[in-house]
Amino acid sequence: MMLILHQRYGGPACAAVMANGITGLIGFGIAAYVLHVSAESLGVPAALTLALCITVAWNLGVFAVRGKLKL
């Protein structure tokens, strides 16, 4: 994806997407780890629901912190 962005929009736009995507990837990594750990004990549907809730909560937290920092 970065190759496509770089070719179409240039280096600064590609760098901005990469820099702003790091925080979301941290939340995804945490959710993937929780899914891995809890899938057997909770069952697949509950573990997937928990992972989705973690991802949504992480991203809402990032938005809240960024909103407070820009004030």
Looking at residue 38, its pLDDT comes to: 95
Residue 71 has pLDDT above 80, yes or no: no
Q: What is the DSSP string of 17-40?
A: HHHHHHHHHHHHHHHHHHHHHHHH
Best-predicted range by mean pLDDT (15-19, 53-57, 59-63, 64-68):
53-57
Q: Give percent of the chain above pLDDT 70.
A: 96
Q: How far apart are CA 47 and CA 33, in angstroms?
A: 11
Looking at residue 69, its pLDDT comes to: 57
- The pLDDT confidence band at residue 17, using thresholds 50, 70 and 90, is confident
Q: How far apart are CA 56 and CA 36, in angstroms?
A: 18
Looking at residue 70, its pLDDT comes to: 53
